[in-house]
Amino acid sequence: MESVSEEARVEELATRSGAGDVKEEVIRIRGLRKRYGEVVAVDGVDLTVYRGEVFGILGPNGAGKTTTLEMVEGLRRPDEGEIEVAGYDAVSEAGKLKRIIGVQLQTTALFDYLSVEETLSLFADLYGVGGSHGERVRSLLEMVSLSEKKDARVNQLSGGQQQRLSMALALINDPQVVFLDEPTTGLDPQARRNMWEMVRKIRSEGRTIVLTTHYMEEAEELCDRVAVMDRGRVLVCDTPLALIRSLDVDATVLVTVDGRLDGGLEWLPGVRGVERSGSDVRLQTANTQDTITALMRFAAERGVRLRNLSVQSANLEDVFISYTGRSLRD
């Protein structure tokens, strides 16, 4: 059972909710629409992002996350709608906007034959970072833990190191708002954790971060607030904790059944849904304790042995399922 870690997790999420803080709007999006031919990629999105928060856009492939982000960054022109970032209009003032935002580029866009340090210096030049770049480049290399790799060529870096370099590049102009499009896709678990650490560091410097992801763990781990997006629309937007608490489901109970337990599981107290896969059973419950107590008794009365009992707390995946009937992974 995971009751202790569940409490700790809820507490941790609660401290990140930012409730009570004075909030300053830094991004304001209203009625945003974009279509590509027949495909409506973004279908009437309204969002507000507050200064200093990590804001996540969570959704499956094709939800419209990248298109939304590119319009907010001033890189793509909306068909309809308004976008203001730190007081600049993302369409008519895209030039000014670019000076105060940082965009994490895909590393395939970098020059393979330049060293890590040369790449950062080149970007500092391109952005017109004043004075000597040396200090800025050194501190960014340190921040993304690439000091030892400063002379390595970009194509000699691992995937995680390349992502960290692109993070440093996004910070070269000391931006107020940083945009990260799926920053950990394709990374192994350790490299993913390193990136999360880096996002927290950037946030601790007082910057606002907007990131897209299709990993619910990432949204839950990092984001102060999350907009859940599907098929071009924002389904719901709130803190991870509020989204999870709004569900009628508390947890999923997973158990392996040695024998037959046909019929009746649906009627156990708290149960909201039952799925079977061979001898494995998943029970969605609104009351973990009542469901487990009743399940034990139900099995014992029938002489059936239960194995591998575990409880998985409700998470953002359950939020997505409750709005769409589909999994984020489908």
Ligand X SMILES: Nc1ncnc2c1ncn2[C@@H]1O[C@H](COP(=O)(O)OP(=O)(O)OP(=O)(O)O)[C@@H](O)[C@H]1O
- What does residue 290 show for φ and ψ, rounded to 5 degrees? -65, -40
184 is an interface residue for ligand X by CB under 6 A: no
Q: Residues 301-320 vs ligand X: string with x where CB under 6 A?
A: --------------------
By the 10 Å C-beta count (0-12 exposed, 13-18 middle, 19+ buried), 114 is classed as middle
Strands 225-230 and 88-89: unpaired
Among the candidate windows 58-66, 126-134, 157-165, 195-203, which touches ligand X by CB under 6 A? 58-66
Among the candidate windows 16-24, 64-72, 305-313, 318-326, which touches ligand X by CB under 6 A? 64-72
Distance (Å, whole) CA 11 – CA 248: 20
Q: Which of 13, 41, 120, 199 binds ligand X (CB under 6 A)?
A: 41
Distance (Å, whole) CA 210 – CA 125: 25
Residue with smaller CB distance to ligand X, 49 or 146: 49
Give least dist CB 39 to ligand X, A. 5
Distance (Å, whole) CA 95 – CA 159: 31
72 is an interface residue for ligand X by CB under 6 A: no
Positions in 200-239 near ligand X (CB under 6 A): 214
Distance (Å, whole) CA 276 – CA 261: 11
255 is an interface residue for ligand X by CB under 6 A: no
173 is an interface residue for ligand X by CB under 6 A: no
* Helix, strand, coil percentages for the chain (3-state, nearest 5): 40, 30, 35
Give least dist CB 36 to ligand X, A. 3
Residue with smaller CB distance to ligand X, 62 or 159: 62
164 is an interface residue for ligand X by CB under 6 A: no
Give least dist CB 277 to ligand X, A. 28
Q: Which of 13, 47, 56, 65 binds ligand X (CB under 6 A)?
A: 65
Give least dist CB 45 to ligand X, A. 11
159 is an interface residue for ligand X by CB under 6 A: no
Give least dist CB 189 to ligand X, A. 20
Residues contacting residue 317 through CB under 8 Å, at least 6 positions apart: 216, 327, 328
- What does residue 212 show for φ and ψ, rounded to 5 degrees? -110, 150
Distance (Å, whole) CA 245 – CA 314: 8
* 290 to 95, 251, 269: CA distances (angstroms): 59, 12, 6
Give least dist CB 41 to ligand X, A. 3
Six token digits for residue 248: 């009628």
Residues that bind ligand X (CB under 6 A): 36, 39, 41, 59, 61-67, 214
